[in-house]
Amino acid sequence: MNQNIRLVDVSKLYGTSGGGFPALKHVNLTIPKGEICAIVGASGAGKTTLLNVMSCLTDVTEGEIFFDDTDITKMNGKEASDYRLHNIGFVFQKYQLMPTLNIHDNICLPYVLAKESVDEAYVTQLVQNLGIESELEKMPDQLSGGQQQRVAIARALALKPSVIFADEPTGNLDSQNGFKTMDLLISCAKELGHTLVFVTHNETLAAMADRKIEIVDGEIA
Ligand SMILES: Nc1ncnc2c1ncn2[C@@H]1O[C@H](COP(=O)(O)OP(=O)(O)OP(=O)(O)O)[C@@H](O)[C@H]1O
Protein backbone atom coordinates (compact mmCIF):
# COMPACT_ATOMS: atom_id res chain seq x y z
CA MET A 1 0.00 0.00 0.00
CA ASN A 2 1.27 3.45 -0.83
CA GLN A 3 1.42 5.91 2.07
CA ASN A 4 1.62 9.54 3.07
CA ILE A 5 4.75 10.49 5.01
CA ARG A 6 4.30 13.11 7.71
CA LEU A 7 7.02 14.61 9.90
CA VAL A 8 5.79 16.46 12.97
CA ASP A 9 8.23 18.80 14.73
CA VAL A 10 11.21 16.53 14.07
CA SER A 11 14.58 17.47 15.55
CA LYS A 12 17.84 15.54 15.50
CA LEU A 13 20.83 16.28 17.71
CA TYR A 14 24.07 14.38 17.13
CA GLY A 15 26.07 13.76 20.32
CA THR A 16 24.73 14.74 23.70
CA SER A 17 27.73 16.17 25.54
CA GLY A 18 27.67 19.96 25.52
CA GLY A 19 24.11 19.96 24.13
CA GLY A 20 24.76 18.12 20.86
CA PHE A 21 24.83 19.34 17.26
CA PRO A 22 21.37 20.18 15.85
CA ALA A 23 21.29 18.59 12.38
CA LEU A 24 17.48 18.96 12.06
CA LYS A 25 15.46 21.67 13.82
CA HIS A 26 11.67 21.32 14.23
CA VAL A 27 10.99 20.00 10.73
CA ASN A 28 7.34 19.74 9.69
CA LEU A 29 6.77 18.13 6.33
CA THR A 30 4.17 16.07 4.48
CA ILE A 31 5.04 14.05 1.39
CA PRO A 32 1.89 12.77 -0.33
CA LYS A 33 1.58 9.31 -1.82
CA GLY A 34 3.24 9.01 -5.19
CA GLU A 35 5.08 12.34 -5.03
CA ILE A 36 8.55 12.67 -6.58
CA CYS A 37 10.39 14.92 -4.17
CA ALA A 38 13.93 16.33 -4.41
CA ILE A 39 15.83 17.44 -1.30
CA VAL A 40 18.51 20.04 -1.96
CA GLY A 41 20.79 22.19 0.18
CA ALA A 42 24.40 22.98 0.95
CA SER A 43 26.83 20.39 2.25
CA GLY A 44 26.13 19.76 5.95
CA ALA A 45 22.62 21.26 5.77
CA GLY A 46 20.99 18.02 7.01
CA LYS A 47 19.77 16.32 3.80
CA THR A 48 21.13 12.85 4.59
CA THR A 49 19.97 13.13 8.18
CA LEU A 50 16.46 13.95 6.96
CA LEU A 51 16.47 10.93 4.64
CA ASN A 52 17.87 8.68 7.37
CA VAL A 53 15.29 9.63 10.00
CA MET A 54 12.48 9.13 7.45
CA SER A 55 13.78 5.65 6.68
CA CYS A 56 14.31 4.76 10.37
CA LEU A 57 18.05 4.36 9.85
CA THR A 58 18.63 7.11 12.44
CA ASP A 59 16.58 7.82 15.61
CA VAL A 60 15.00 11.24 16.01
CA THR A 61 15.75 13.26 19.16
CA GLU A 62 12.29 14.80 19.17
CA GLY A 63 9.13 14.61 17.09
CA GLU A 64 7.14 11.99 15.21
CA ILE A 65 7.25 10.49 11.73
CA PHE A 66 4.10 8.88 10.39
CA PHE A 67 3.69 6.60 7.40
CA ASP A 68 -0.09 7.02 7.20
CA ASP A 69 -1.08 6.19 10.81
CA THR A 70 2.08 4.31 11.78
CA ASP A 71 4.56 6.28 13.88
CA ILE A 72 7.94 4.80 12.92
CA THR A 73 9.74 6.67 15.72
CA LYS A 74 7.98 4.44 18.29
CA MET A 75 9.33 1.20 16.80
CA ASN A 76 12.08 -0.87 18.39
CA GLY A 77 15.07 -2.00 16.29
CA LYS A 78 13.50 -5.26 15.07
CA GLU A 79 10.15 -3.63 14.23
CA ALA A 80 11.95 -0.84 12.38
CA SER A 81 14.08 -3.21 10.29
CA ASP A 82 11.02 -5.34 9.39
CA TYR A 83 9.08 -2.21 8.50
CA ARG A 84 11.96 -0.89 6.40
CA LEU A 85 12.35 -4.16 4.53
CA HIS A 86 8.69 -4.25 3.43
CA ASN A 87 7.88 -0.57 3.01
CA ILE A 88 11.05 1.28 2.08
CA GLY A 89 13.54 0.87 -0.75
CA PHE A 90 16.90 2.62 -0.47
CA VAL A 91 19.31 3.62 -3.24
CA PHE A 92 22.78 4.68 -2.09
CA GLN A 93 25.32 6.86 -3.88
CA LYS A 94 27.84 4.00 -3.96
CA TYR A 95 25.39 1.27 -5.12
CA GLN A 96 26.30 -1.10 -2.25
CA LEU A 97 25.88 -4.28 -4.28
CA MET A 98 27.12 -7.59 -2.82
CA PRO A 99 30.38 -8.26 -4.70
CA THR A 100 30.10 -12.07 -4.35
CA LEU A 101 26.57 -12.33 -5.78
CA ASN A 102 25.67 -12.10 -9.46
CA ILE A 103 23.29 -9.39 -10.67
CA HIS A 104 20.17 -11.57 -10.50
CA ASP A 105 20.93 -12.60 -6.92
CA ASN A 106 21.75 -9.03 -5.89
CA ILE A 107 18.34 -7.90 -7.15
CA CYS A 108 16.63 -10.81 -5.37
CA LEU A 109 18.38 -10.24 -2.02
CA PRO A 110 15.34 -8.48 -0.46
CA TYR A 111 13.22 -11.60 -1.09
CA VAL A 112 15.82 -13.70 0.76
CA LEU A 113 15.89 -11.25 3.68
CA ALA A 114 12.08 -11.23 3.79
CA LYS A 115 12.01 -15.06 3.52
CA GLU A 116 9.72 -14.77 0.50
CA SER A 117 9.87 -16.63 -2.80
CA VAL A 118 11.24 -14.57 -5.67
CA ASP A 119 8.63 -12.99 -7.96
CA GLU A 120 10.58 -13.82 -11.12
CA ALA A 121 7.96 -12.28 -13.43
CA TYR A 122 8.23 -8.98 -11.58
CA VAL A 123 12.04 -9.12 -11.53
CA THR A 124 11.99 -9.71 -15.31
CA GLN A 125 9.73 -6.68 -15.78
CA LEU A 126 12.02 -4.54 -13.60
CA VAL A 127 15.25 -5.51 -15.36
CA GLN A 128 13.63 -4.93 -18.75
CA ASN A 129 12.42 -1.47 -17.66
CA LEU A 130 15.93 -0.68 -16.44
CA GLY A 131 17.71 -2.15 -19.51
CA ILE A 132 19.83 -4.65 -17.56
CA GLU A 133 18.17 -7.89 -18.67
CA SER A 134 21.32 -9.10 -20.42
CA GLU A 135 23.52 -8.56 -17.33
CA LEU A 136 21.87 -10.99 -14.89
CA GLU A 137 24.61 -13.64 -14.88
CA LYS A 138 27.44 -11.11 -14.50
CA MET A 139 29.14 -10.04 -11.28
CA PRO A 140 28.88 -6.39 -10.10
CA ASP A 141 32.51 -5.57 -10.97
CA GLN A 142 31.81 -6.48 -14.61
CA LEU A 143 29.27 -3.62 -14.92
CA SER A 144 29.70 0.11 -15.42
CA GLY A 145 28.76 2.50 -12.61
CA GLY A 146 25.49 3.41 -14.35
CA GLN A 147 24.58 -0.26 -14.82
CA GLN A 148 25.41 -1.02 -11.17
CA GLN A 149 23.16 1.80 -10.04
CA ARG A 150 20.33 0.42 -12.21
CA VAL A 151 20.84 -2.94 -10.45
CA ALA A 152 20.63 -1.13 -7.10
CA ILE A 153 17.39 0.51 -8.26
CA ALA A 154 15.93 -2.88 -9.25
CA ARG A 155 16.93 -4.25 -5.83
CA ALA A 156 15.27 -1.26 -4.09
CA LEU A 157 12.05 -1.88 -6.06
CA ALA A 158 12.00 -5.69 -5.77
CA LEU A 159 9.59 -5.99 -2.83
CA LYS A 160 7.35 -3.19 -4.21
CA PRO A 161 7.96 -0.81 -1.27
CA SER A 162 5.64 2.17 -0.98
CA VAL A 163 8.53 4.61 -0.69
CA ILE A 164 11.96 4.86 -2.31
CA PHE A 165 14.65 6.98 -0.65
CA ALA A 166 17.74 7.77 -2.71
CA ASP A 167 20.76 9.62 -1.30
CA GLU A 168 22.62 11.28 -4.18
CA PRO A 169 21.88 8.26 -6.42
CA THR A 170 23.76 9.75 -9.34
CA GLY A 171 26.60 11.31 -7.34
CA ASN A 172 29.10 8.75 -8.66
CA LEU A 173 28.04 9.04 -12.31
CA ASP A 174 28.95 11.45 -15.09
CA SER A 175 26.25 13.95 -16.01
CA GLN A 176 24.87 12.02 -19.00
CA ASN A 177 24.63 8.74 -17.07
CA GLY A 178 23.34 10.61 -14.04
CA PHE A 179 20.49 12.14 -16.02
CA LYS A 180 19.61 8.82 -17.66
CA THR A 181 19.66 6.97 -14.33
CA MET A 182 17.50 9.59 -12.61
CA ASP A 183 15.09 9.55 -15.54
CA LEU A 184 14.78 5.74 -15.20
CA LEU A 185 14.36 5.94 -11.42
CA ILE A 186 11.62 8.57 -11.74
CA SER A 187 9.79 6.71 -14.53
CA CYS A 188 9.89 3.42 -12.59
CA ALA A 189 8.59 5.20 -9.46
CA LYS A 190 5.79 6.87 -11.44
CA GLU A 191 4.81 3.76 -13.37
CA LEU A 192 4.68 1.65 -10.21
CA GLY A 193 3.12 4.39 -8.02
CA HIS A 194 6.00 4.64 -5.53
CA THR A 195 6.75 7.81 -3.60
CA LEU A 196 10.34 8.84 -4.39
CA VAL A 197 12.42 11.15 -2.21
CA PHE A 198 15.93 11.83 -3.45
CA VAL A 199 18.82 14.02 -2.33
CA THR A 200 20.79 15.83 -4.99
CA HIS A 201 23.24 18.69 -5.41
CA ASN A 202 22.30 18.95 -9.07
CA GLU A 203 19.68 21.57 -9.95
CA THR A 204 18.87 19.93 -13.31
CA LEU A 205 18.05 16.66 -11.56
CA ALA A 206 16.11 18.46 -8.81
CA ALA A 207 13.99 20.11 -11.52
CA MET A 208 12.83 16.65 -12.65
CA ALA A 209 10.93 16.22 -9.35
CA ASP A 210 7.32 17.25 -8.65
CA ARG A 211 8.59 19.31 -5.71
CA LYS A 212 11.93 20.61 -4.49
CA ILE A 213 12.55 20.98 -0.75
CA GLU A 214 15.53 23.05 0.33
CA ILE A 215 17.22 22.44 3.68
CA VAL A 216 19.20 25.27 5.23
CA ASP A 217 21.02 24.62 8.51
CA GLY A 218 18.64 21.84 9.53
CA GLU A 219 15.46 23.73 8.65
CA ILE A 220 13.14 23.66 5.65
CA ALA A 221 13.69 26.90 3.76
N1 LIG B 1 27.02 10.81 13.11
C2 LIG B 1 27.19 12.12 13.23
N3 LIG B 1 27.72 12.64 14.37
C4 LIG B 1 27.87 13.97 14.53
N5 LIG B 1 27.52 14.89 13.60
C6 LIG B 1 27.00 14.43 12.45
C7 LIG B 1 26.81 13.03 12.21
N8 LIG B 1 26.25 12.89 10.97
C9 LIG B 1 26.12 14.14 10.47
N10 LIG B 1 26.56 15.05 11.36
C11 LIG B 1 26.54 16.51 11.17
O12 LIG B 1 25.18 16.90 10.96
C13 LIG B 1 25.11 17.89 9.93
C14 LIG B 1 24.20 17.41 8.82
O15 LIG B 1 24.82 16.29 8.19
P16 LIG B 1 24.19 15.61 6.89
O17 LIG B 1 25.07 14.48 6.52
O18 LIG B 1 22.76 15.32 7.15
O19 LIG B 1 24.32 16.79 5.83
P20 LIG B 1 24.11 16.78 4.24
O21 LIG B 1 23.25 17.96 3.92
O22 LIG B 1 23.60 15.45 3.81
O23 LIG B 1 25.59 17.01 3.73
P24 LIG B 1 26.33 16.53 2.37
O25 LIG B 1 25.65 17.24 1.24
O26 LIG B 1 27.74 17.00 2.57
O27 LIG B 1 26.21 15.04 2.31
C28 LIG B 1 26.55 18.15 9.48
O29 LIG B 1 27.04 19.30 10.13
C30 LIG B 1 27.31 16.93 9.93
O31 LIG B 1 28.65 17.23 10.23
Handedness of CA 68, 150, 132, 184 (dihedral sign): positive
* 33-77 per-position pLDDT tens digit: 999 999 999 999 999 999 999 998 899 999 999 998 899 999 998
175: CATH = 3.40.50.300
* pLDDT confidence bin for 96, thresholds 50/70/90: very high
* Ligand 1 pocket mutation, candidates 12, 21, 59, 201, criterion most atoms within 8 A of CB: 21
* Ligand 1 pocket mutation, candidates 12, 14, 170, 197, criterion most atoms within 8 A of CB: 14
Taking a C-beta distance cutoff of 8 angstroms, is the pair 163, 88 a contact?
yes
**Ligand 1 atom closest to Cα of residue 46:** 18
Q: Is 150 in the pocket of ligand 1 (CB under 6 A)?
A: no
Number of domains observed in the structure of the chain: 1
Q: Is 23 in the pocket of ligand 1 (CB under 6 A)?
A: yes
**Ligand 1 atom closest to Cα of residue 51:** 18
* Ligand 1 pocket mutation, candidates 10, 25, 47, criterion most atoms within 8 A of CB: 47
Q: What is the mean pLDDT of the chain?
A: 92
The DSSP symbol for 80 reads H
Q: Is 41 in the pocket of ligand 1 (CB under 6 A)?
A: yes
Nearest protein CA to atom 3 of ligand 1, as residue:
14
pLDDT attached to residue 192? 86
* pLDDT confidence bin for 121, thresholds 50/70/90: very high
Number of H helices, E strands in the chain: 7, 10
Above 90 in pLDDT, residue 19? no
Q: Which candidate, 103, 184, 93, 105, places its Cα nearest to that of 141? A: 103
Residue 33 lies in domain:
5-220
* 169-212 per-position pLDDT tens digit: 998 888 888 898 899 899 989 988 899 999 999 999 999 999 99
Q: Is 46 in the pocket of ligand 1 (CB under 6 A)?
A: yes
Q: Is 43 in the pocket of ligand 1 (CB under 6 A)?
A: yes
Taking a C-beta distance cutoff of 8 angstroms, is the pair 90, 158 a contact?
no
Percent of the chain at pLDDT exceeding 90: 81
1 C-alpha to center of ligand 1: Å? 31
